[in-house]
Amino acid sequence: MIRLLVGRSTKRVCLSAVFAASALFSLPIFAQTVTGKWIGTQRLLDNGESGRVFLDLHQTGTEVSGTVTTIGHVYQVTGTIAGNHFELFSSPKDAKPRVAGDIAGDELKLTRDNDHFVAVPAKPGDEYPPYERITPPALHDVAYNGLAKTPPMGWNSWNLFQSHIDDKTMREIADAMVTSGMRDAGYVYVNIDDTWEGVRDAQGNLSPNKKFPDMKALADYIHSKGLKFGVYSSPGPRTCAEYPGSYGHEEQDAQTFAAWGVDYLKYDWCGARMIYTHDDLQAVYQKMGNALLNSGRPIVYSLCEYGSGNVALWGAKVGGNLWRTTGDISDSWTSMIANIEKQVPTAPYAGPGHWNDPDMLEIGNGHMTDEEYRTHMSLWALAAAPLLAGNDIRTMSPAIKEILMNHEVLAVDQDALGKQASPVKIGNLEMCKGERSGTWHEGEVSARSLAALQRSVSQGSLHREYPTAWSASASREELIVSVAGAQHIT
């Protein structure tokens, strides 16, 4: 019996048709389709919630396109199917599929974010209800909180630990920040990134999840070590990792953070995309900027919006002490260089209290050479970038310690004038697409800092093709050459 194919529910019909056809032609053809609406339940979050994933897919020949909706995100995907196997990407830049899967009878066996789960045909009403839009406040300038006169320095859990972070690890990292000398070198903030969040109670108060039994006690412990404590949230209803965000609870969360003893908040756009557009960025970030000020506790405010919406122009106006100027860094030379090059047009906007943030350090995470990590450090120092180490401080090698705690390089980063370096053209070294050639001027940065930088960039540090010459002063050719290409050092 052969019937028409209508949507995904006809898969079995489709198969019977194909069997009939292959019986006729003796060809092993399996023309299954992923077209249709599918619902899967992904991993259990650390707060006990399950993440539902809703896929609305359309297949034409071997091409597949559609939408993936999770509790905190919606994204478009495109890809291909070969036999039963399909791979879907949300951007041409994706190195690996956002969602991959196989058709298995009436189900899809899916892989997303390294989790494996099964999706079945969705029923009406399985979709998440849309979030209600809360109109963001009218724009006004938020008063400066007086913090981050030099780029903030510390440690953050995300680059290495991602979701595998808990109270015990945080305390051990805090201990190691002291014993390794990191604290005394200036790295004082010890920050938990995403996945600490629990659920809200009936009054809307947010608790940590089981990995963090007592945030106030953890903050007290970190403070007892002479360190400061940071947490993470989102202006959206959900964070990037799909835990509860601060949407509609901004004042309440700011009060909670202050009561715990939080000194630093990283506020990550992610789930806000479900509700707002880039036109709303400034107002939405302003809301938490005000809430932090109202909390009465000095809290460094770190905007994490991947450089969207010309953030350098308004980051300080919303009370931001630093703002991301790039997408997420990864532990690779290409990623690191791509991020630093995006700093070029932002240079005029850095200064005491408000900094461009090319993302956290990958130094010591194992996928670059020590020479490359030394370059990473030097470039971040030149860019007056916040220095948030992202490695395992408990076990770092002497070479990594030396890179992270090179006091002379740190002096460049922490220079009180807060001038961010810009590229200049020297000899046959190319300028970075001519965006800007402003430089630090003679005398603006101490001679000690300049000499230190030169020393920190050893022969071979920039041993690959590198189109940008960074400089602290056009008049100091030795320094420029040392940063721009080690082949010039004899």
Cβ at position 391, least distance to ligand GLA in Å:
15
- Active-site residue (options: 268, 357, 392, 413): 268
Closest CB to ligand GLA among 36 and 358?
Answer: 358
Interface residue with ligand GLA among 241, 292, 344, 481 (CB under 6 A) is 241
Closest CB to ligand GLA among 232 and 440?
Answer: 232
- 257 binding ligand GLA? (CB under 6 A): no
Q: How far is CA 146 from CA 184, 298, 352, 353, in A?
A: 22, 8, 9, 7
Cβ at position 423, least distance to ligand GLA in Å:
25
Does 357 qualify as catalytic in the annotation? Answer: no
> For residue 406, which of 153, 69, 115 has the smallest C-alpha distance?
153
* Residue 6 CB partners (closer than 8 Å, separation 6+): none
Does 175 qualify as catalytic in the annotation? Answer: no
- Applying CB under 6 A, the span of 18-26, 199-207, 239-247, 389-397 interacting with ligand GLA comes to 239-247
- Applying CB under 6 A, the span of 106-114, 238-246, 312-320, 477-485 interacting with ligand GLA comes to 238-246
Q: Is the distance from CB of 216 to CB of 260 less than 8 angstroms?
A: yes
Closest CB to ligand GLA among 38 and 229?
Answer: 229
- Active-site residue (options: 102, 280, 328, 370): 328
Interface residue with ligand GLA among 87, 193, 253, 392 (CB under 6 A) is 193
- Applying CB under 6 A, the span of 27-35, 202-210, 236-244, 388-396 interacting with ligand GLA comes to 236-244
Interface residue with ligand GLA among 206, 240, 381, 480 (CB under 6 A) is 240
Closest CB to ligand GLA among 12 and 164?
Answer: 164
Interface residue with ligand GLA among 197, 250, 268, 413 (CB under 6 A) is 268
Q: Which tokens go with 155?
A: 């440690």
* Residue closest to ligand GLA, measured at CB: 240
Cβ at position 178, least distance to ligand GLA in Å:
25
Cβ at position 422, least distance to ligand GLA in Å:
25
Q: How far is CA 314 from CA 205, 274, 390, in A?
A: 30, 22, 27
Scanning the structure block, which residue is given the tokens 């970075």?
432
* Residue 294 CB partners (closer than 8 Å, separation 6+): 251, 254
Cβ at position 359, least distance to ligand GLA in Å:
7
**Between residue 118 and residue 157, which ones bind ligand GLA under the rule CB under 6 A?**
none
**Between residue 456 and residue 485, which ones bind ligand GLA under the rule CB under 6 A?**
none
* Residue 106 CB partners (closer than 8 Å, separation 6+): 11, 12, 120, 121
Closest CB to ligand GLA among 263 and 415?
Answer: 263
Cβ at position 306, least distance to ligand GLA in Å:
6
Closest CB to ligand GLA among 273 and 317?
Answer: 273
Cβ at position 453, least distance to ligand GLA in Å:
27
Closest CB to ligand GLA among 304 and 450?
Answer: 304
Q: Is the distance from CB of 483 to CB of 462 less than 8 angstroms?
A: yes
- 158 binding ligand GLA? (CB under 6 A): yes
* Residue 80 CB partners (closer than 8 Å, separation 6+): 62, 63, 64, 86, 87
Closest CB to ligand GLA among 122 and 270?
Answer: 270
Residue 64 CB: number of other CB atoms within 10 A? Answer: 21
Interface residue with ligand GLA among 160, 174, 219, 304 (CB under 6 A) is 304
Cβ at position 62, least distance to ligand GLA in Å:
31
Residue 231 CB: number of other CB atoms within 10 A? Answer: 26
* Residue 21 CB partners (closer than 8 Å, separation 6+): 27, 29
* Number of residues located near ligand GLA, criterion CB under 6 A: 10
- 328 binding ligand GLA? (CB under 6 A): yes
- Applying CB under 6 A, the span of 83-91, 235-243, 410-418, 436-444 interacting with ligand GLA comes to 235-243
Closest CB to ligand GLA among 42 and 482?
Answer: 42
Indicate which residues carry an active-site annotation.
Answer: 268, 328
User: In the complex, which residues of this chain contact ligand GLA (CB under 6 A)?
Assistant: 158, 193-194, 239-241, 268, 270, 304, 328
